[in-house]
A and B are shown apart, each in its own frame.
Chain A
Amino acid sequence: MMRRSIVALSFALFLAFSAGMPVLADLTSKDVTTELICQCGCTMVVDTCDCGTAADMTALVTQKISEGQSKEQILGYFVSQYGEKVLAAPTKKGFNLTVWIVPFVAIATGGVAIYFILRRWVWKGKAAPEPVEAEQPEPEESTDEYRRRFREEFDRFSREEEK
């Protein structure tokens, strides 16, 4: 009963949250202005900046779109005017590529390292005598049976009572 109401509740919750509508369209000025930095000194993205410089840049973008220029052409124009710093994110080529790649390389390396470290620890854990339960005095009944039951109860215990 409880379970069903929880399910229903979370289901309703998520349905309520998910009234959305995906949008797909031709190149809009927003597609371009979200990738340009306003040059008034505010350091904000043109699309979000409120100042006159941003308005001028947006107008220029709109004009170039109406002339049929592509996003790359328009961004290229702004780079030729202001330098690379006008782009809201570094280009994905040359030296700039490092900033895009290094975080993922670092995480992947860390992941591999953790895998090997963990594997070594598991070996050590298996090589060493069972840390806690082995110190307990052995019961009369068969050790295997005892171990199995211990494991079962321990699992239950650790699931329900542990911190």
Chain B
Amino acid sequence: MIEIGKIAIVTGLIFAAFTAVVNIMAARSNTTALHRTARRGVLAVAGLTTIASIALFYAILSHKFQVAYVYQYSAMDLSTAYLISVFWAGNEGSLLFWAWLLSIFAVIVIYQTRNRNKEIAPYALCVMMVVQTFFMLLLAFVSDPFRLLPVVPPDGNGLNPLLENPGMFTHPTTLFLGYVGITVPFAFAMAALITGKLNDQWIRSTRRWTLFAWLFLSLGNLFGAQWAYVELGWGGYWAWDPVESASFMPWLVATGYLHSVMIQQRRGMLKVWNIVLILITFILVIFGTFLTRSGVLASVHSFGQSNLGPFFLGFMGITLVYGIGMLVYRLPELKSENELDSLVSRESSFLLNNLFLVGAAFAVFLGTVFPVISEAVRGVKITVGPPFFNSVTGPIFLGLIALMGVCPLIGWRRASKDNLIRNFMYPLVLTLIITLALFAAGQREGYVLLAWALCSFVISSILLEVFRGVRTRHRTRIQGYVPAFVHLVWSNKPRYGGYIVHIGIILMAIAIVASNAYKAEATATLAPGQSMNIRNYTLTYDNLSNYPVGTSRNIVVATMTITNSGEELGILTPAKTFSIHSEQPVSEVSIRTTLKEDLYAILSGWDKDGASFKVFINPMVAWLWIGGAVLIFGTIIAMWPDAREKRRELLGSGLSDKSVEEEENDEA
């Protein structure tokens, strides 16, 4: 079975390279037989990577410790669920995961393009197969998941205990789906450049792919934050670790892309810019994959040192040079009908939004690579950590939030003065009232006050916008407010889905601001029966117990009774787990979550006299996850198939071919 996996990878490599070439030949000659071969080639690649993946699953699940990868990341006592997660726990396996997902996505693209996009689809598939070839090359020659050890060890090294968390199933998988998903719009953008079909066809055909990838990038980041919050045990959810930044940067640029493509679709503008954005997003995806594997930057959760760095750098370089080269080559044809009616319009606010998003990504990028630059220029090692990122990105994000409020209030094309006054008045008045109330309530910190003001501005402007739509419907169609609301959202899903996503983002922003501005922290060493206070909470240390879990782990649990202003609320059980597979014990934090705040306890240490604790109050962290759920909901609404969209696109595309656009049953 292991040999089969190895053979599947090498054959898959050959097929991927072959299919890339055949796709070009098929597009050039336009013979049906070649098209069919190209499509079958993609299916073969997917089949082969699937076989390789099954082989790796088999090796992991049946404890074939002679396979170096299996030895390195698993052990006899690992539960079946975590054995499955071993597939993407290490370098080699996660690369295979990448390749596997990519090949499956290519099959979906084949299915979606069987009757349409005949001109650019082969080139897009070719680009996907080139990326596939790159990953298969790594798997075959540099980072072989099936490499054998000279001996057969009796047991494996075990999974890093930090990875034994449900986050191991949510975070890497969603992030990879997002990363690989970005490849599809990127491939179509490249195909548009290659073929010269530079209208917005490629954007419309990949709209759902982009939303899909964006959704999973968002989820990957959020699940990562949640995992860090419950597992790393330092009371926070985001530490600006290089790897966190690596997954955040493509999200920022992809968000900019999601907005700017709307301008191209509506006005035929920004053609070059959109291609640049998706190119940057894809390169940042590869950069993120590179950062986790190169060992260039020290990080909490990198995959450790490996020799993959130069390959990824080379691939990024080639992609960048080729992408920009093609762009320059097509530049004369990309001259778009750039005309505006007014400086103050939805279009210009979208451009500002792009500026801030790309600016934020650039700031994060510069901060992430600056230690390398510093060492090269001055020969001095430095660290660029949270204080830098917080103070540099803070103002940019506040600017973005402000724009989220301004955008819906400014019409497309032009906004008259009356228009602006009428639209801005209510939200601004409301914002002013809220800000003054907060000030009166004792909120004096300017930065925090500004953040609250902006968040309330966004929410009130979205509510106003929705309310106006509902009222119009209510009046013109004589519907009740609730049916009018449902119909309104349903009749323009991309727009209102987008607003729902904005509300999700604002809920997260509120959580982030509150949890930073109003947090509290206390440490204490307590003997049994003693208690500590934090705000209104009293935590009484009851006892410490110690018991084995399975054969390889031991857990030490402290029990604390919590009361809030005298009322008993239950217990917290912070613990530490010791594993024979790791020198460092792992903190198991204990959290009591309410909508208002999290009470978060860590067991730091203990001796015969007592135990020491670190306790945090993290206000409103729950809203971060609620905001995430709202974001998912909004994105799904925006992705939902829409009959009106179909009609509009039929009209818009001038009924060119059978391109009825967009598969109804996308993976949405």
Residues of A within 8 A of B (CB): 2-3, 6-7, 10-11, 14-22, 30, 34-35, 37, 41-45, 48-51, 83-90, 95-96, 99-100, 102-104, 106-107, 110-111, 114-115, 118-122, 124-126, 128, 131, 155, 158-163
How far is the CB of B162 from the nearest CB of chain A, in Å?
A: 12
Measured CB to CB, the nearest residue on chain A to B355 is A110
Distance, CA A107 to CA B366, complexed state (A): 13
8 more CB-based (< 8 A) A-B contacts, given A10-B434, A110-B359: A49-B234, A85-B383, A88-B383, A96-B382, A99-B366, A118-B351, A122-B340, A155-B416
Whether A44 lies near B388 (C-beta < 8 A) is no
In whole angstroms, what is the CA distance A22 to B510 when docked? 17
Pick from B339, B373, B412: contact of A162, CB below 8 A: B412
B367 pairs with A10, CB closer than 8 A:
no
Shortest Cβ distance from A43 into B: residue: B298
* Contact status B510-A17, CB under 8 Å: yes
Check B582 for interface membership: any CB of A closer than 8 A: no
User: Measuring CB to CB, which residues of chain B are less than 8 angstroms from any residue of chain A?
Assistant: 233-236, 239, 241, 262, 266, 269, 298-300, 338-343, 348, 351-352, 355-356, 358-359, 362-363, 366-367, 370-371, 373-374, 377-378, 380-388, 391-392, 396, 411-413, 416, 419, 426, 430, 433-434, 437-438, 441-445, 448, 452, 456, 459-460, 463, 467-472, 481, 492, 494-495, 510, 514, 517-518, 521, 584, 587, 596, 602, 604, 614, 619-620
Interchain CB contact under 8 A, B385 and A37? yes
A84-B380 contact in complex given A3-B467, A14-B456, A124-B338, C-beta closer than 8 Å: yes
Closest 9 CB pairs of A and B: A103-B363, A88-B385, A48-B234, A125-B339, A89-B388, A107-B359, A89-B387, A121-B340, A20-B518
Contact residues in A for B445 (Cβ distance below 8 Å): 22
Q: Give the contacting residue for B468; candidates A14, A37, A86, A159; CB below 8 A.
A: A159
Give the CA-CA distance A10 to B506 in the complex, in Å.
Answer: 13
Instruction: Tell me, in angstroms, the Cα distance from A95 to B374 when the chains sit together.
Output: 8
A111 nearest CB across to chain B (Å): 6
Q: Are B298 and A41 in contact (CB under 8 A)?
A: yes
Inter-chain contact B416/A118, CB cutoff 8 Å: no
Q: Which residues of B contact A115 (CB under 8 A)?
A: 343
Contact of B234 among A18, A44, A86, A161 (CB under 8 A): A44
In angstroms, Cα B47 to Cα A44, docked, is 43
A131 and B494 alpha carbons, distance in the complex (Å): 26
Asked if B374 and A114 make an inter-chain contact with CB atoms under 8 angstroms apart, the answer reads no
A19 contacts which chain B residues (CB < 8 A)?
518, 596, 619
A6 to B338, CA, bound (A): 40
Instruction: Specify which of B382, B411, B444 is in contact with A22 (CB 8 Å cutoff).
Output: B444
Q: How far is the CA of A158 from the CA of B345 in the complex (A)?
A: 12
- Which residue from A87, A119, A155 sits with its C-beta under 8 Å from B343? A119
Minimum CB–CB distance for A162 against chain B, Å = 6
CB pair B604 A50 closer than 8 Å: yes
Q: Please judge, given known A-B contacts A11-B434, A95-B374, A96-B382, whether A160 and B469 are in contact too, CB under 8 Å.
A: yes
Asked if residues B392 and A103 are in contact (CB atoms below 8 Å), the reply is yes
CB–CB B384/A99 < 8 A: yes
A15→B343 contact, CB < 8 A:
no
Task: List A contacts of B381 (CB < 8 A).
Answer: 83-85
Neighbouring B residues of A124 by C-beta, 8 Å: 338-340
Cβ-defined contact, B383 with A37, below 8 A:
yes
Bound together, the chains give a CA A121 to CA B339 distance in angstroms of 5
- Contact present for B620 and A99 (CB under 8 Å): no
Quick one: closest B residue to A160, CB to CB? B472
Establish whether residues B416 and A125, one from each chain, have CB atoms under 8 Å apart when the complex forms: no
Give 26 pairs: A residue, B residue, CB < 8 Å, sorted on A.
A2-B481, A7-B430, A14-B437, A14-B438, A14-B456, A15-B441, A18-B441, A21-B518, A34-B387, A43-B298, A44-B300, A48-B234, A83-B381, A84-B380, A85-B380, A89-B385, A89-B391, A107-B396, A110-B355, A111-B352, A114-B352, A114-B355, A119-B343, A121-B340, A124-B340, A160-B468
Contacts of B239 in A (CB 8 A): 44-45, 48
- Given A83-B380, A99-B367, A124-B338, check contact A111 B355 (CB 8 Å): yes
Chain B residues, CB < 8 A from A30: 521
